[in-house]
C-alpha cells in the first residue's frame, strides 16, 4: 500500500538540506532526549547506525554517550547525506523501506523522527531488527497521533468552507498503543513505548506551515491534492487555526507528540517470564507471611 | 585513521549489501560503483557516499 510519495519526500529533504544554520529546535530537542536514554545503559554500543540522519545532528548531540566507536549515518536524501558526511563519519544514501545493510551489523540503531514517512512500517522495523546484532538496541523517536492536530482541524474546516471538499493534508501518525505491537511483530524483545507532548508557539499558522516546509516535512501524501491550493484557502486555514486554538497573546500553539520506542534484538540471556507452574518456592515464604488461600478457583460449579 | 577524500569509507564496504536481494556487492573502485549481479544493478558512489537507491542505480545489460 502506498501512503507516502517517497520520491517527493526525497526532493523535499534535498531542498531542506540547502537551509543551513540553526537546527530546527524540535529535532534538536528529540535528539537530546534520545541521547539521554543511553545514560541509563550499563553497556556500550561500539557499532551504531543513525537511520534518517538528516544533517547529522544526532551525532553531535551524542557527545560521547553510549560508548559508540563508529556511527554510520544514513539518509534518503543525497543532499542531506552530503551535509552529514561533512562530519567525517561514514555516510550512505538508502531508503528505509529497502535497507542495504548486512545482518547482525550494529549494536545500536537510532531513528530520530524519520520513520513517520515510511509506507511499510512493519517491514522497515523487521529490516532494522535484522541488521542489529543479538541484544542490540533500537532507539527510535517518531511523531505520534496527536501531532499537528490543530493544523489538521484547520485545513479540514478551511477546505470545506472555501472549496466545498477536503483533501488529505496531514499524515496519519502512529498510535502509541500500536507501537509496542508493531515492535513485537517485527521480532523485537522487551519493547517499551512512551510519549512526550511538546507545544511549540508560532505567531500564526502561516509561519508554522512555512517552518514545516523548511524542515522538508510538508505534505508528501500519495493521495494529496495535485493542484495548487488557493490563497483564500490558506488564509481561511490560518483564520480557523487562530479562532479555535489561538492564545490570548495572539500566538498559536502547534502540538507535536513524540513517541519514543526502545526495543532489543532477541538474545538468550535476556530476561523473560518463566513457564507457568515452574516455581520452586512459595511466595509466602519469601514474604515471610502466612499463606492465605484466595479461594478454591478450581472447585466445580455448584449445580442448581 | 587515513581516509582518502574521494574514496569510500572501507567500513561501509564491509556492511553494505544489495537493498533488493540482500546479497553481497562487488566494489568497482575504478568506476566507483557497487555492483549487485543478481539484481543486475550498479549503485553509484558519489563523493564517497554510496547511493543505495534502486532508481539511482545503473542497469547492467550483459
The predicted-structure confidence for A247-286, as pLDDT tens digits, reads as follows 999 899 999 999 999 999 999 888 877 888 888 888 888 8
- ipTM of model over 0.85: yes
A246: phi > 0 → left, psi -120 to 50 → alpha, else beta; which? beta
What pLDDT sits at residue B16?
97
pLDDT at B62 over 80: no
What pLDDT sits at residue A76?
93
What pLDDT sits at residue A274?
80
Interface with A, mutate which of B49, B51, B54, B56 (most A CBs under 10 A): B49
C-alpha B13: how far from chain center: 8
Calpha distance B19→B23 (Å, rounded): 8
Residue matched to cell numbers 500566538: A251
Q: Does A70 touch chain B (CB under 8 A)?
A: yes
**Do residues A152 and A212 make contact, with C-beta atoms less than 8 angstroms apart?**
no
- Of A70, A81, A88, nearest to B49 by CB-CB distance is A81
For chain A, residues with pLDDT lower than 70 are: 1, 17-24, 220, 222-223, 226, 295-304
Calpha distance A221→A6 (Å, rounded): 9
Query: In degrees to the nearest 10, what's the CA dihedral of A208, A211, A215, A217?
Result: 30
What pLDDT sits at residue A303?
65
Strand partners, B40: none
Calpha distance A96→B3 (Å, rounded): 27
Q: Does B9 touch chain A (CB under 8 A)?
A: yes
What pLDDT sits at residue A87?
87
**Set of cell numbers at residue B43:** 549503485
Helix (H, G, I), strand (E, B) or coil at B41: strand
The residues spanned by each domain of chain B are 3-59
Q: Do the chains contact at B50 and A72, CB–CB below 8 Å?
A: no
What pLDDT sits at residue A189?
94
Helix (H, G, I), strand (E, B) or coil at A11: helix
SS3 content of chain B, % helix, strand, coil (to 5): 15, 35, 50
Question: Which domains, from first to last, does chain A contain?
Answer: 6-271 (3.40.50.150)
Q: Does B18 touch chain A (CB under 8 A)?
A: yes
Confidence tier at B1 by pLDDT (50, 70, 90) = very low
Q: For the sheet with A47-51, list strands across it.
A: A91-93, A70-75, A47-51, A106-112, A132-143, A252-264, A189-202
Q: How far is CA A233 from CA A82, A149, A157, A212, in A?
A: 37, 18, 10, 18
**For B21-60, how does the pLDDT look when each residue is reduced to its tens digit (9 = 90+)?**
999 999 999 999 999 999 999 999 999 999 999 999 999 9
* Domain covering B3-59: architecture: Single Sheet (2.20)
What pLDDT sits at residue A166?
77
Q: Which residues touch A11 (CB under 8 Å, ≥6 apart)?
A: none
Residue matched to cell numbers 517491514: A123
The pTM score is: 0.83
Amino acid at each position: 500500500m502506498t501512503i507516502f510519495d517517497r520520491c517527493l519526500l526525497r526532493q523535499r529533504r534535498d531542498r531542506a538540506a540547502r537551509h543551513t544554520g540553526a537546527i530546527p529546535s524540535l529535532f534538536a530537542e528529540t535528539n537530546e532526549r534520545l541521547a539521554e536514554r543511553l545514560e541509563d545503559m550499563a553497556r556500550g554500543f561500539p557499532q551504531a547506525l543513525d537511520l534518517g540522519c538528516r544533517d547529522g545532528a544526532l551525532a553531535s548531540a551524542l557527545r560521547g554517550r553510549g560508548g559508540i566507536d563508529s556511527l554510520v549515518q544514513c539518509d534518503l536524501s543525497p543532499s542531506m547525506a552530503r551535509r552529514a558526511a561533512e562530519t567525517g563519519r561514514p555516510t550512505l544514501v538508502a531508503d528505509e523501506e529497502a535497507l542495504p545493510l548486512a545482518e547482525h551489523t550494529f549494536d545500536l540503531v537510532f531513528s530520530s523522527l524519520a520513520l513517520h514517512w515510511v509506507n511499510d512500517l512493519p517491514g522497515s522495523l523487521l529490516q532494522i531488527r535484522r541488521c542489529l546484532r543479538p541484544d542490540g538496541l533500537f532507539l527510535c523517536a517518531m511523531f505520534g497521533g496527536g501531532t499537528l492536530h490543530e493544523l489538521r482541524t484547520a485545513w479540514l474546516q478551511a477546505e470545506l468552507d472555501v472549496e466545498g471538499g477536503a483533501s488529505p493534508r496531514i499524515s496519519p501518525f502512529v498510535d502509541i498503543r500500536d507501537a509496542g505491537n508493531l515492535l513485537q511483530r517485527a521480532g523485537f524483545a522487551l519493547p517499551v513505548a512512551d510519549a512526550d507532548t511538546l507545544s511549540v508557539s508560532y505567531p500564526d499558522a502561516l509561519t508554522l506551515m512555512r517552518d514545516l516546509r523548511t524542515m522538508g516535512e510538508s505534505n508528501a501524501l500519495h493521495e494529496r491534492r495535485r493542484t495548487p491550493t488557493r490563497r483564500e484557502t490558506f488564509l481561511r486555514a490560518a483564520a480557523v487555526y487562530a479562532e479555535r486554538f489561538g492564545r490570548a497573546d495572539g500566538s498559536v500553539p502547534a502540538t507535536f507528540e513524540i513517541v519514543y520506542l526502545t526495543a532489543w534484538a532477541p538474545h538468550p540471556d535476556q530476561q523473560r517470564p518463566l513457564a507457568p507452574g515452574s516455581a520452586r518456592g512459595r511466595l509466602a515464604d519469601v514474604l515471610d507471611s502466612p499463606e492465605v488461600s484466595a479461594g478454591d478457583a478450581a472447585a466445580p460449579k455448584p449445580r442448581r | 585513521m587515513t581516509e582518502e577524500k574521494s574514496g569510500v569509507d572501507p567500513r561501509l564496504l564491509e556492511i553494505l549489501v544489495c537493498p533488493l536481494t540482500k546479497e553481497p556487492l562487488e566494489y568497482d573502485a575504478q568506476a566507483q560503483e557497487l555492483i549487485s549481479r543478481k539484481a543486475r544493478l550498479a549503485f553509484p558512489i558519489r563523493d564517497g557516499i554510496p547511493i543505495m537507491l534502486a532508481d539511482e542505480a545503473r542497469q547492467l545489460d550483459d
